[in-house]
Amino acid sequence: MNKGKLFVVATPIGNLKDITMRALETLRSVDYILCEDTRVTKKLLTHYQISKPTISYHHHSSESKIKEIAKLLEDGKNLAIVTDAGTPGISDPGNRLISIILKRDSSNDKDEIASPRYGVARNDTIIPIPGSCAVIAALSISGFPTDKFYFAGFPPHKNKRQKFFKELAEMEETIVFYESTHRIIKTFSELQTFLPQREIMLARELTKQFETIYRGTAEQVLEKIKKGPSKGEFVVVIRSI
């Protein structure tokens, strides 16, 4: 029996129209859809009249859930993995599943790649279906040099935050990272301390109804977000030296 394929499908980061025809065709064709949050994904599926069984897969998924997914691939089932918004595997729990599937099993054929425990993957098992990514969307409108950039994910919540920002201050290339509603004010206060002179672009709620772009130094942007709405999803882009 041929083993199934895992399609890594990018979904909209806000505007539901920001999805490719290939992504929709893939979601319609697979046997199951792995979702970070099934409730979020079902809104997208309902919008495009796609009826497929969904399976919850997220950062806290158990080993038994991973074995369940691996067994589906072994049984020849085709799966799509999606995140709540954007591209799976980019600062997202999907990369854990992909990593497990891709680990080499020394007991398998040399041309086969697999998890040491589950042994499910071949070279053609994992297929990217590209699309929206908040990092790339923000960089594309920043006006900063993007031939080389550093993506820092999310800053640490508590421990090592100062170390994180000190390391960013030493970098010469353009820097981009995500931040949450609850810590955006704190983050810009820290950027004001560690990177006071660097030009920054802050993108809030990209592609959504209340999309907002702020530009300036950390101090200037901090004043703007204190005056305006500070709720939403944020992407911070810091200009290279």
CATH assignment, 6-129: 3.40.1010.10
Q: How buried is residue 110: exposed, middle or buried, by Cβ count under 10 Å (0-12/13-18/19+)?
A: exposed
Domain boundaries, the chain: 6-129, 134-238
Superfamily of domain 134-238: Tetrapyrrole methylase, C-terminal domain (3.30.950.10)
End-to-end Cα spacing for the chain: 55
The dihedral through the CA atoms of 95, 101, 104, 106 has a sign that is positive
Rounded Cα distance, 209 and 116, in Å: 46
Contact 141, 203 (CB under 8 A): yes
In 143-156, which positions are buried (b, 16+ CB within 10 angstroms) versus exposed (e)? ebeeeebeebeebe
pLDDT 10s digit of each residue in the chain, 241 long?
678 999 999 999 999 999 999 999 999 999 999 999 999 999 999 999 999 999 999 877 788 888 889 889 989 999 999 999 999 988 777 778 888 777 733 334 444 444 445 555 555 689 999 999 999 999 999 999 999 999 999 999 888 999 999 999 999 999 999 999 999 999 999 999 999 999 999 999 999 999 999 999 999 999 999 987 778 899 999 999 9
Element (H, E) at 212: strand 212-216
pTM to 2 decimal places: 0.86
Which of 129, 139, 124, 194 has the alpha carbon at shortest distance from 165? Answer: 194
Rounded Cα distance, 125 and 178, in Å: 30
- Residue 110's contacts (CB-CB under 8 Å, 6 or more residues apart) are none
